[in-house]
A = this chain, B = another copy of it.
Amino acid sequence: METLRADMFDEICPSTLLPFRIGGDKWAALVLVCLEDGPRRYSELRVPLARVTPKVLTQSLRTLERDGFILRKQYDEPVRRVTYELTDLGRSLLEPMRVMCDWASDHWDELLDARES
C-alpha cells in the first residue's frame, strides 16, 4: 500500500487537501494506516505521527476504540505496555480507504488547480 502511505503522510496534505475523512477526526485515517502491519505501541505510533500531540493522539485512539475500529491491549508486565491493533472491522475499512486514496492520486492535479484558483 505504498501510494496510500505516501499520499496521506505527505506534509502538504495531512488530510487537508484529501477530500475525505474517516471517523470525522483529523488523524484517524493515518492511525489506521499505521496499524496496517500489526499491533503498535503508543510510543511507536508517535514516531510516524510526530506532528500529533499526545493529547490528540490519545483522543483519536479512544474514539477509534469506541467505534470498534481498533483494540487497546494492556499487558500485565513489570514495564508498562499498551498496544493498539486493528479489529476486523477496522481492517475492512482499509479497502474503501484505498479506493479513496487511488481516486485522490488520480485527480491530484485537478484538486490542486481548484484550490489555487
Whether a CB of chain B sits under 8 angstroms from the CB of A52 is: no
Residues in B whose Cβ lies below 8 Å from that of A23: 19-20
What 0/1 readout, one digit per residue, does chain A (86-117) give for beta carbons within 8 Å of chain B?
A: 00010011011001100100110011011100
What 0/1 readout, one digit per residue, does chain A (36-58) give for beta carbons within 8 Å of chain B?
A: 00000000000000000000000
Per assembly, the copies of the chain total: 2
Main SS at interface, chain A: helix
Whether a CB of chain B sits under 8 angstroms from the CB of A82 is: no
> Chain B residue with minimal CB distance to A26?
B24
Whether a CB of chain B sits under 8 angstroms from the CB of A66 is: yes
A110, B89: Cβ atoms closer than 8 Å: yes
User: In whole Å, how far is A7's beta carbon from the nearest beta carbon of chain B?
Assistant: 14
A66, B114: Cβ atoms closer than 8 Å: yes
Listed in ascending order, the chain A residues whose CB lies under 8 Å from chain B are 19-24, 66-69, 89, 92-93, 95-96, 99-100, 103, 106-107, 110-111, 113-115
